[in-house]
Chains A and B, each alone.
Chain A
């Protein structure tokens, strides 16, 4: 395994060297160079942990931290809180009861300030109020989303007849070539029903999985494992396409070998 990884790394470095010799590399810009070298540094982990990988890792983490601080400041804090708050203060109307247009924003502002009390041990407990508000509101929103998008929709989608009338009519009437497909089509609904019910039983925690319940749970875990296998293969294919994308960047944008 390690030998294969080393071979990949040597091939990549060899291609880089060949591209450099051929004068192709010089055509790439500075940004491409930095990106390509950092990509190779990350790929060097395929061989083993090394100082080059360590350097790339630290650069990555450092840049990500700085980038996210800037992103949160410009895209979240300024447009959603600070600017509307300042605009509201400018338009404050002094009447018997002062009218402040964006008064509601003072609540997230105060909750945000409370989060910083963590730096002062004596009042650190105040930060829990912000956390409680955040977890509570997020949970409330998540429940509605899960109910609407997952639970109710899944219940409806899985209410299928025990057999498909169309599949039953078609079965045997078509040629022998489609007999297998007809059979599979006929088995679709029973498989959905058995798989769904037994998988639900597997996630039943109030009884030991013994007897009939145990058998059903065992069938359920088989269904789960088969679906995991299919999902694994599907996702690996998409990861391979990511690797191809990265190799294409190295060979095309950087080395110019592939056009």
Chain B
């Protein structure tokens, strides 16, 4: 953002006063150059200096204008050098000075500016553009009715079995959509699966209890369950009290879910979404209670616990594939298909990278370096 005109005038006036004040026995301002740091978000300035006639330690000060409140930035031993001053404000004008025995050496005033494009991250932009193009293309194709094959995911069969068993035993189904908010894509995928679980449970007239950890998830979970009951043609069976907000606190939520498992004696526990340290506590309690359990998460550190304590686990991306498989929604199917194509591209890139690295050509691999 540029400074307003009246403020700019005050800034220029202050700079002039400073220059006159500092020129009391003093070195040229051209010895310190300040320029905006390119390819950043406008929070840094780059300083270069050449004070070759000075051999003492240099202390660099900074002040924003029009006020002159000098703050030490650092000390430098080399008379020639450069320094990137970070953590600045885009809305301010800055001036720098080296304090010497003979007085101050002032820089010109400069303002950090945000770059439109970070050239160091062009690789990421290109990868993103290719992936977006693939997603849009396959969504378009799916919307036009093109059939996309998605292989059967074994975990989904396990969900059906779990609900069937709960129905036989006359006990409810517990569906835990993770403990993350709607900003996590796993929670959104979980809502799609919840919709299908609710439909299946409504068909069998089995209640589904959904404990929720985050308030924002509650309305979406209510909507998913209500829609599921509606799809099954049994809207009258929907009980809004079965979607329960427990607590935002991770282990308070876990304690609450454990309580539900034991007191309401759920026969099938389905954990789908983003889980953290509570995963084993939940799965172990469900296992002790004798429930049939199906889990799915993309949090790789929690997968081992689910694999160990549950009857079936959807691993990583299978969670997203399951939501696409169940809903047959063109957007989800298109995204799944695009991610499959992206995987093929990544495999080709990796193989090329392996060969290039073996032959000692590092330029190809370095292009992918995250900056």
Residues of B near A56 (CB, < 8 A) are 255
Closest Cβ neighbor of B365 among chain A residues: A159
A140, B297: Cα distance in complex, Å = 21
A144, B316: Cα distance in complex, Å = 19
At the interface, yes or no: B328 with Cβ under 8 Å from chain A?
no
At the interface, yes or no: A232 with Cβ under 8 Å from chain B?
yes
Given contacts A135-B188, A139-B185, A163-B358, contact A206 B150 (CB under 8 A): yes
B183 & A229 in contact (Cβ 8 Å cutoff): no
At the interface, yes or no: A129 with Cβ under 8 Å from chain B?
no
A-B contact count (CB 8 A): 155
Given contacts A60-B251, A60-B252, contact A138 B182 (CB under 8 A): yes
B301 & A68 in contact (Cβ 8 Å cutoff): no
A206, B335: Cα distance in complex, Å = 12
A155, B124: Cα distance in complex, Å = 12
Report the minimal beta-carbon distance from B61 to chain A, rounded to whole angstroms: 30
A159 & B353 in contact (Cβ 8 Å cutoff): yes
Closest Cβ neighbor of B183 among chain A residues: A138
A158 & B255 in contact (Cβ 8 Å cutoff): no
Residues of A near B365 (CB, < 8 A) are 156, 159
Q: A residues within 8 Å of B by Cβ?
A: 42, 45, 49, 54, 56-57, 60-61, 63-65, 67-68, 118, 127, 131, 134-135, 138-139, 141-144, 147-149, 151-153, 155-156, 158-163, 193, 196-197, 200-201, 203-209, 224-225, 228-229, 231-232, 235, 239
Q: 3 shortest A-B CB distances, which residue pairs? A: A138-B183, A159-B353, A64-B249
Given contacts A54-B259, A228-B304, 16 further A-B contacts (CB under 8 A): A49-B263, A61-B253, A61-B256, A118-B219, A138-B183, A148-B121, A159-B353, A161-B358, A200-B347, A203-B316, A203-B343, A205-B150, A205-B321, A205-B340, A206-B148, A232-B308
Q: B residues within 8 Å of A by Cβ?
A: 121, 123-124, 127-128, 148-151, 153, 181-185, 188, 216, 219-220, 246-249, 251-253, 255-256, 258-259, 262-263, 277, 280, 300-301, 303-305, 307-308, 315-318, 321, 336-337, 340, 343-344, 346-347, 349-351, 353-358, 364-366, 368-370
